[in-house]
Amino acid sequence: MDERIVITGLGAVTPIGLNTEETWRALLRGRPDAFRPLRRFDTRDMAFSVGGEIPNFEPNPDDVALAGPSDRAALLMMSAAREALEQAEWREKGATSGLRLGIILSTNFGSVECAEEWLGGNPAPGTMGSDFDGLSFQRAADFLARRWGAEGPVMNLSLSCASGTAAIAAAASLLKSGQADAILAGGYDALSRFAWIGLSALRTMSRTAVRPFDRRRDGTIFSEGAGALLVERESTARRRDAPVLAVLVGTALNNNAFHLTAPAREGAGTVAVMQQALLQAELAPEQVDHINAHGTGTIPNDLTETQAIQAVFGSHASKIPITSIKGTVGHLMGAAGSVEAIASVLTLRDGRIPPVANLEEPDPACALDYVRGEPRKGRFRTVLSNSAGIGGCNAAVIVSVP
Amino acid sequence: MRRVVITGVGPISAIGVGRSDFWRALEEGRSGIGDVDTGDGNESRKAALIRNFNVSDYLETAKTYLDRTSQFTFAAMSLALEDANMDPGDQAVKEAGLSLGTAYGPLSTMHLFFSDYHKKGVRLVKPILFPHAYSNTPISLLAIEYGIGGYHLHQASGWTASSAAVAFAVEAIREGQVHRMFAGGFEAFHPILLQAFDRAGKVARDAGEGECARPYDCRRNGFVLGEGAGIVVLEEEAHARARNATILARVSGFGAAWGPRSREKALRQVAEVWQDGDWVIGHANGSREGDRQEAEALLIWGGGTCRGAVFAPASRMGETLGAAGVFQLIAAVGILLQGRRYPFSVEKPDPACPISIPCDGLDVRRVVTLSSDPGGASVALCLERSEHAVST
């Protein structure tokens, strides 16, 4: 990288916290607090009825004025973005200096919930074309651009459950190309009927709990939420005197090129994406102090991810403390990578790694230092965060202390 | 900075399939617009659809299920590989990256999956459909089919999606993340697209001469929907020459911006001013607002006047939404490579859209494409004639 890319703002809305600090405290407690019977839609006849619904989300009235009351996915994203931009003091120290803000979001399902009537059959005569807009995933990014006066690139990606991490990688690219001075990189997804019925059909969900790397694990549980990070060139952050939380030292994106739904043998794509990120960061494997794993709690993911970490880090692998936050917060879909990157930054800040919830009987086939029980304390200077998604896409980011 | 060149194009559209057919269609002024069944049985409407399409003509192996967008994407990839003189099994293919974009993605599969739930109940949905209903399903399928494990990015950025996808591909090559990219986009027609845009008042209505897309014309009253997919092969110049690839054009820049002046800002990112003789391939599709805003932006960029020719492919191939940008790009390659002149006339010019139309005698050295989403985003790409280009 020519110039360093830094992270200056964080924002999150999750089933375990309506902002970053609340979410972080819950992650450090490491209890499976996200999961409850879904109330947003009728789950009768559905195979699964417990998920990571956010029970008490109150959207900001200004956001409702822009997005309407029913576009939950966009409202979650706008809430996380607001927190990140406020923390980074963008309005006070960026917008006023004529700096160009860009927006790069990423999602699995965007605002599809608004368009369910269109997808379900013939919409009632009064159903507006604007509800159909929910199928153009660009919508939430446009709302944010309007709210925050973005003038740079405003885009939305869709890379399944690698989405949140991919948005950060894409933001780094655009900053290097000079298209913007700062970019809000976000991942988001809401629990909608469309998403829930589809994800249930994939047969990757557990009815009981997400138990990453535990030998009893039997699937993941999907959650809703949003995560946002403000990333900018170091010179921009300096110029506007913004607090630098972390340095984004490496990013990578790839695909297993193997199968639409099954993980690659021995995590081959995950191996390559971690190696690519290390290469870009100019780091040796031994320089990574902690890994925030994808760790979904499905039988194949946790095994192949363990194998991939062993392949990349060799004898150092067993010395790296590793966590997956999905036992606590669930699988946040498009937001997963964003919130995991946020957790990685906070591990750098606080010297604490959140424990893997529900990891009581470690799988002998996943024999690495997965953090159990209490948060792990220490000085962590460099953290790698991994994501993967349906279709075989993978993404990795590496963050370091400023 | 590493130079990025185009070494192959694969368009599958309502006006033509493959490089030669597509460019000839543009030269002859062929239109792809025809009657379409809207699904509600009310009236006959128009759209620019790909007809007589058989995906098995383009597949290496048989498939149990493919959404229409995935089918188009496979076809575009097959055409692009052939055009770039690459074999599917080449190591150069496997080491490449993929960057595609779409506005609405596999809409027909989403609809099929969810209408089963509505009509028959949750127990009778077809699980196989769901993994085929993701916005990024087509790009995943390409990665799997061709073993492309490298750089991988998918845009769901509305009408700018495929231009943004090409921009990211160019940037990935410039950064040295990858030497070769397959980039472009896809979109497929579905009756609910027409119904929804109709209710929003965006689709062209019959004003006495049938529904037509009339970019920049004072009688314009909306767009006609189109569909298709396009993929271009982008390579770092030295790598292209090392494999003796035919260089078609060079991508000299991209720009992306948002807001009321996004078109002008995106244009200025690729070229500070509109130089005399530059062609512009616009996104004008016959919509009242969009066309006027595009014309205004071009005039400002040109310092008050039109400095070259403007061409709007949506008049023939319909509004192809997320795929529009890559079709504009492939049209641009044709102009640069062969000095092709696409006939385009505005019968009754709107005084609010004073653009100039293609004329003879231009020695075209540069073509700029401009894609815009109604939500406010614009992406511009700039192509220049490569000194190594080989006219074919």
Q: Do A260 and B158 touch (CB under 8 A)?
A: no
Residue B389 within a domain: no
Contact call for A129 and B375, based on CB within 8 A: no
Domain co-membership, B224 together with B144 = yes
For A255, phi then psi, to 5°, come to -140, 145
Helix A163-176 and helix A336-350: axis angle, to 10°? 70
Query: Residue B347: which H helix or E strand, with range?
Result: none
Are the C-beta atoms of A261 and A293 separated by less than 8 Å? no
- Give yes or no for residue B43 having a pLDDT over 70: no
Q: What is the CATH number of the domain that holds B360?
A: 3.40.47.10
- For a pLDDT cut of 90, what percent of chain B falls above it? 83
Residue where a domain terminates, one of A205, A228, A246? A246
pLDDT at A94: 86
- Tell me the residue ranges of DSSP E strands in B174-260: 180-187, 228-236, 249-258
Residues B148 and B19 in one domain: yes
Q: Tokens for A187, please give them.
A: 């991942």
On average, the pLDDT of chain B sits at: 93
Q: Which of residues 199-228 of A touch B (CB under 8 A)?
A: 199, 201-203
CB distance B146–A257 less than 8 Å?
A: yes
- Is A154–B376 a contact, with Cβ atoms under 8 angstroms apart? yes
Q: What is the pLDDT of residue A2?
A: 72
Is residue B95 included in any domain, yes or no? yes
Out of A290, A331, A366, A393, the active site residue is A331
pLDDT > 70: what percent of chain B? Answer: 96
Residues A258 and A342 in one domain: yes
B192/B339 same-domain check: no
**Amino acid making up residue A8:** T
Our count of domains for chain B comes to 2
Has residue B342 got a pLDDT over 90? Answer: no
Residues A97 and A172 in one domain: yes
pLDDT at A122: 67
Of B174, B202, B375, the CB nearest to A142: B375
Helices (H), chain B: 19-28, 68-83, 91-94, 107-120, 137-146, 161-174, 191-199, 237-242, 262-270, 288-301, 314-317, 324-338
B198 and B271 housed in the same domain: no
| B267 and B354 in a common domain | yes
Q: Any idea what the CATH number is for the domain that residue A148 is in?
A: 3.40.47.10
Q: What is the DSSP string of A235-255?
A: HHHHHTTPPP-EEEEEEEEEE
What is the per-residue pLDDT for A73?
Answer: 98
Nearest to A392 among B143, B269, B375 (CB): B143
Distances (CA, A) of A131 to A191, A319, A396: 17, 51, 34
Specify whether A294 is catalytic. yes
Distance of CA A34 to the CA centre of its chain: 16
Residue type at B132? Answer: H
Choose the final residue of a domain: A230, A246, A262: A246
- Indicate yes or no: CB of A155 within 8 angstroms of CB of B200: no
Whether B290 and B184 share a structural domain: no
Distance CA A244, CA A267 (A): 34
Same domain, A282 and A219: no
Q: Which residue has the higher pLDDT, B32 or A2?
A: B32
Burial of B384 (0-12, 13-18, 19+ CB in 10 A): buried
- In a shared domain, residues B29 and B161: yes
Count of beta carbons in the 10 Å neighbourhood of residue B390 = 10
Q: Which domain holds residue B94?
A: 4-250
Give contacts of A73 with chain B, Cβ < 8 Å: none
Torsion of the alpha carbons at B284, B287, B288 and B293, rounded to the nearest 10: -30
Please tell me which residue in A161, A290, A366, A393 is annotated as part of the active site. Answer: A161
- A114 & A37 share domain: yes
Of the candidates B388, B5, B152, B201, the residue with the CA atom closest to the CA atom of residue A132: B201
Q: Are residues A171 and A301 both part of a single domain? A: no
Contact A390 B134 (CB under 8 A): yes
Shared domain for A121 and A148, answered yes or no, is yes
Average pLDDT over every residue of B179-208: 92
pLDDT-based confidence at residue B354 (cuts at 50, 70, 90): confident
- Res. B210: pLDDT tops 80: no
Which neighbouring-strand residues pair with B34?
B47
State how many domains chain A has. 2
- A58 touches B: beta carbon within 8 Å: no
Q: Are A283 and A249 in contact (CB under 8 A)?
A: yes
Same domain, A391 and A272: yes
CB–CB contact B258 A103 (8 Å)? yes
Task: Quote the CA–CA distance of B17 and A96 in Å, as a whole number.
Answer: 50
Could A391 and B196 be called an inter-chain contact, meaning their C-beta atoms sit closer than 8 Å?
no
- Please say which residue of B212, B234, B250 terminates a domain: B250
Same domain for A377 and A327: yes
Structure tokens belonging to residue A283: 């780091």
- Residue B156 is predicted with a pLDDT of 98
B241 and B266 part of one domain: no
**B250, B274, B289: which is the final residue of a domain?**
B250
Q: Cβ separation of B144 and A156 shorter than 8 Å?
A: no
Specify whether A321 is located in the same domain as A228: no
> What's the residue count for chain A?
402
Q: B165 to chain A, minimum CA–CA distance in Å?
A: 10
Active site residue A259: no
* Per-residue pLDDT, A129: 62
3-state SS class at A71: coil
Q: CA-nearest residue of chain B to A151?
A: B258
* DSSP β-bridge partners for residue B47: B34
Low-confidence ranges of chain A (pLDDT < 70): 1, 122, 125-130
Q: Is A316 in the active site?
A: no
pLDDT at A1: 45
Distance CA B48, CA B50 (A): 7
- Domain with A329, as residue range(s), is 250-400
CA distance A210 to A208: 7
**B263 and B242, same structural domain?**
no
CB of A251 within 8 A of CB of A330?
Answer: no
B115-163: per-residue pLDDT in tens? Answer: 999 999 999 999 999 999 999 999 999 999 999 999 999 999 999 999 9
Question: Can you give the pLDDT at residue B302?
Answer: 94
A298/B contact by beta carbon, under 8 A: no
Residues A16 and A139 in one domain: yes
The residue of chain A nearest to residue B174, with distances taken between CA atoms, is A177
Let me know whether B152 and B23 are in one domain: yes
CA gap A127, B96 in Å, rounded: 44
**Does residue A207 sit in the same domain as residue A257?**
no
Domain annotation covers residue B43: yes
How many angstroms separate the CA atoms of B230 and A21, rounded? 45
Query: Per-residue DSSP letters for B41-67?
Result: SS--EEEE---S--GGGT-SS--S---
How far, in Å, CA of B54 to CA of A283, rounded?
Answer: 49
Residue B391 lies in a domain: no
Residues B271 and B362 in one domain: yes
Q: Which of A194, A217, A246 is the last residue of a domain?
A: A246
Chain B positions touching A201 (Cβ under 8 A) are 125, 127, 130
φ/ψ of residue A174, rounded to 5: -70, -35
In whole angstroms, how far apart are CA B374 and each of B157, B247, B260? 11, 34, 10
Does residue B281 sit in the same domain as residue B260?
Answer: yes
Q: Which residues of chain B lie closer than 8 angstroms to A136, CB-CB?
A: 103-104, 156, 158, 375
Residue of B nearest to A277 (CA): B177
- What are A184's strand-pairing partners? A103, A230
Predicted confidence at residue B38, as pLDDT, reads: 75
CB neighbour list of residue A81: distance below 8 Å, 6 or more residues apart:
A11, A103, A144, A147, A148, A184, A186, A226, A228
Which ipTM was obtained for this model? 0.97
In tens, the pLDDT along B161-171 reads: 999 999 999 99
